[in-house]
Structure 1
Amino acid sequence: MTGLVVILLACFAALAHGKAGYGPGDQDWGFVDVRPGAHMFYWLYYTTANVSSYTERPLAIWLQGGPGASSTGYDNFEELGPLKLDGSYREWNWAKDMNVMFIDNPVGSGFSCVDNSSYYTTTNKQIALDLVELMKGFYENHPEFKAVPSHIFCESYGGKMAPEFALELYYAIQRGEIDSNLVSVGLGDLWTSSIDSVLSWASFLLQLGIVDTDGHDKIESSAASTKRYVDRELWTLATLQWSSTQSVVLCESKGVDIYHVETATLGDKYVLRSMPMSQEELMYRTLMHYDIDEDRDKLLEELMQGPVTEALNITTGVKWGA
């Protein structure tokens, strides 16, 4: 019995300290079968804070938007992970202060995968329930995190997914199905009432001096067309028109950074890349948060499908994508 205890403790210690992944610091990652045929991927960065145990710091759980954009890719390398897209160190990154777990969600995004298309989610509730199953699997692999304060963060369409995930996780805790110290939910640039956001663009950009009155009127007209489709519940047409409205914004503003409007536009140097593109392709690129800078998108894809896939030893035939 004593030998068994020693072995278990040794296994726990090895598990708890993580391993080398891609970039600095201890990491861990893995797949959780959230349903038969549906496999969700997470990537954990242990905090690099100067503490005696990483469990002294909270766990930040990050969900990207889309739905279908990858947390392990976009948010990790473009926003708050230890490394930037070019491989340089990000001085301000969340892992310096807390443990950070990126989840590729819903299944089909990033490294998360399905056996066939019938296993994709079709409702926000199914997304939320999959995330609860992910957390059950995560806590099985990392029981030391059960008592660690957990905070769910998100952006964009995550503003729809994160609250429902938190609610279903809360219900599961109350039913005794999972031990989790869920503390809060943080919503960033949330896409909760989409049409209200779209209708605000024209006046917001005009007041900032980013567009003139002519640009304001063109954006407002395109946004109004979006609302007409929404009012008639023609959702595909509404989404296509929303994508078109975003293109009008980019043209009239000469390339405003939609996620950081204080960044200088390109002015007269701006040229909207007018490669032949169907409305469906335009909508896909908009939903997936693809940058106007296609070279940057290509860099991220090459990074995730090359060095990251190799470093994490993802050999199951899974291909990172959206």
Structure 2
Amino acid sequence: MEKLHASVLALVFLLVILFQEGLVTCMKNEDGSEEWGYVQVRPKAHLFWWLYRSPYRVENPSKPWPIILWLQGGPGSSGVGFGNFGEVGPLDANLKPRNFTWLRKADLLFVDNPVGTGYSYVEDSNLYAKTDEEATTDLTTLLVELFNNDASLQKSPLFIVAESYGGKFAVALALSALKAIQHGTLKLTLGGVVLGDTWISPEDFVFSWGPLLKDLSRIDDNGLQKANSIAERIKQQLEAGQFVDATYSWADLENEIVASSNNVDFYNFLQDSKSDSDTLNAMELGLFKEVSMMRYSKYLSSKTSYLGSEDDDLERLLNGVIRKKLKIIPENVTYAVQSLDAFESLVPDFMKPRISEVDELLALGVNVTVYSGQVDLICATKGTEAWLKKLEWTGLQNFLEKDRTPLYCGSDKTTKGFFKSYKNLQFYWILGAGHFVPTDQPCVALDMVGAITQSPAA
């Protein structure tokens, strides 16, 4: 018994030493199908990661089994929580098996990014990422630590899949990873980048909201005029490099849209927001900026109690049974689905576009896939198509001239979406889905992921 006790103490001591030295802290479950831990990406700044190895893995030398890095939005929304339990991981928020888990097509790596998000944390409030580039550097450091020390991971092509604001991180990370690979400091193969309802060009999205809602009879001419006026102000601020002011004007625009539409849901424009009364009460108190941040981040408005919401099941889960399973979460870290601190630190970058990074990836021959939910408003298809047309990529005109192919799922011949592809650019229009495509249309989303990653068939 004393021997066993000493071994346990030795393990704990080892983890503490690794943690203090800034190396990877790693734990596994018994069969090795799950690994998780921390990487100290900067002194006193720690990113939490969780890797699932697929039980559906197929060994095929000509088609290596892929791995997906899932990047959540926000910024400051938890991929380990929402992306994992809420969208594509093996278990749902009730710890029931998910029929359409993306593990059927790939291994899954979730990261709470940027630092201060979810289980990730900083030991000094000055260490939150203040730019997209800083968050990207942290993610690159994490990839170096994980992949360079694991030969099995190096065999799998990495697909960076992002949702919402995560798309800005994804394109920057892909370029950073390619540079590190070229310099020999990162050992991995980049399979591609997937941008799901992503905030790549804020200007194009804010200009899409008014016309789209007017066509849907959700706002009238007066509402359209007000929305377009604020959008024009945002454009002028962006052109002048006034990015913080543009973020505050974005908050004004969202509040105007809410008032003119009687609380349309920014994640499904066919519905009303589920937090109407709380949002209106907060607006009356003058919490405009915070309300808009929450409205942008569904994770915040529906999963925390900041505006009095009682729907905090996901936070209870990750602060309870999941925390006990993981064993390595520091006592002073309380899990939250969305970090306001992480969001506010990135306010200066929030409205900056990342179209040029997409252009650069395409020019380098990287496979770029864009998918868009039909009834999403915050990152509306109308806005996504607008920024795509701004690409300077030489293949753009050929892409635009291609006809779309209808998508189905299984034996169901109801149209589920459309697909278009030219060279290394692909676009999926997913019908009946809002901002969270894997949740709203899980079957077609899984088929899409299989096609993107070219997962070998069983």
Q: Which amino acid is the alignment partner of residue 56 of structure 2?
A: A
Distance in 1 of aligned mates of 2:310 and 2:108: 24
**140 and 154 in structure 1: CA distance in 2 versus 1, 3 angstrom threshold:** same
Give 1:144 shift.
Answer: 0.3
Provide the residue aligned with 2:241 in structure 1. 233
User: Which residue of the other structure, out of 42, 49, 52, is the alignment partner of 1:45?
Assistant: 52
**303 and 254 in structure 1: CA distance in 2 versus 1, 3 angstrom threshold:** farther
SS in 2 for 1:188: strand
Provide the residue aligned with 2:225 in structure 1. 217
Provide the residue aligned with 2:203 in structure 1. 195
Provide the residue aligned with 1:96 in structure 2. 104
User: Which residue of the other structure, out of 41, 50, 65, is the alignment partner of 1:57?
Assistant: 65
Distance in 1 of aligned mates of 2:276 and 2:166: 30
Distance in 2 of aligned mates of 1:121 and 1:266: 30
User: Which residue of the other structure, out of 20, 23, 30, is the alignment partner of 2:37?
Assistant: 30
Number of residue pairs the alignment of both structures matches: 300
Instruction: State how 1:103-118 maps to structure 2 within 5 Å.
Output: 103-118=111-126
Backbone CA RMSD of aligned residues:
3.0
Is the 2:82–2:299 contact (alpha carbons within 8 Å) kept by the matching residues of 1?
A: no
Q: Which amino acid is the alignment partner of residue 288 of structure 2?
A: Q
Distance in 1 of aligned mates of 2:301 and 2:122: 29
1:206 aligns with 2:214: yes
**208 and 83 in structure 1: CA distance in 2 versus 1, 3 angstrom threshold:** farther
Q: Which amino acid is the alignment partner of residue 309 of structure 1?
A: R
Give 1:228 shift.
Answer: 4.2
Instruction: State how 1:73-84 maps to structure 2 within 5 Å.
Output: 73-84=81-92
Is the 1:255–1:270 contact (alpha carbons within 8 Å) kept by the matching residues of 2?
A: yes
Q: Which runs of 5+ in 2 are unaligned?
A: 1-26, 340-458
Q: Which runs of 5+ in 1 are unaligned?
A: 1-16
Is the 1:69–1:289 contact (alpha carbons within 8 Å) kept by the matching residues of 2?
A: no
User: Which residue of the other structure, out of 253, 270, 276, is the alignment partner of 2:261?
Assistant: 253
Provide the residue aligned with 1:138 in structure 2. 146
Distance in 1 of aligned mates of 2:292 and 2:214: 25
Give 1:168 shift.
Answer: 1.1
Give 1:102 shift.
Answer: 0.9
Give 1:205 shift.
Answer: 1.8
User: Which residue of the other structure, out of 303, 313, 320, is the alignment partner of 2:327?
Assistant: 313
1:301 aligns with 2:315: yes
Give 1:260 shift.
Answer: 3.3
Is the 1:240–1:283 contact (alpha carbons within 8 Å) kept by the matching residues of 2?
A: no
Give 1:125 shift.
Answer: 2.2
Q: Greater shift after overlay, 309-318 or 145-154?
A: 309-318
Distance in 1 of aligned mates of 2:224 and 2:97: 39
Provide the residue aligned with 2:353 in structure 1. none
Provide the residue aligned with 2:454 in structure 1. none
SS in 2 for 1:274: helix
Q: Which amino acid is the alignment partner of residue 68 of structure 1?
A: G
Q: Which amino acid is the alignment partner of residue 19 of structure 1?
A: N
Is the 2:148–2:186 contact (alpha carbons within 8 Å) kept by the matching residues of 1?
A: no
SS in 1 for 2:234: helix
Q: Which amino acid is the alignment partner of residue 30 of structure 1?
A: G
**117 and 241 in structure 1: CA distance in 2 versus 1, 3 angstrom threshold:** same
Distance in 2 of aligned mates of 1:20 and 1:86: 22
Is the 1:30–1:43 contact (alpha carbons within 8 Å) kept by the matching residues of 2?
A: yes
Q: Greater shift after overlay, 277-286 or 114-123?
A: 277-286
Provide the residue aligned with 2:189 in structure 1. 181
**89 and 211 in structure 1: CA distance in 2 versus 1, 3 angstrom threshold:** farther
Distance in 1 of aligned mates of 2:276 and 2:115: 36
CA-to-partner distance for each residue in 1:34-56, whole Å, 9 max, x for gaps? 12222111111222326369x95
Q: Which amino acid is the alignment partner of residue 268 of structure 2?
A: H
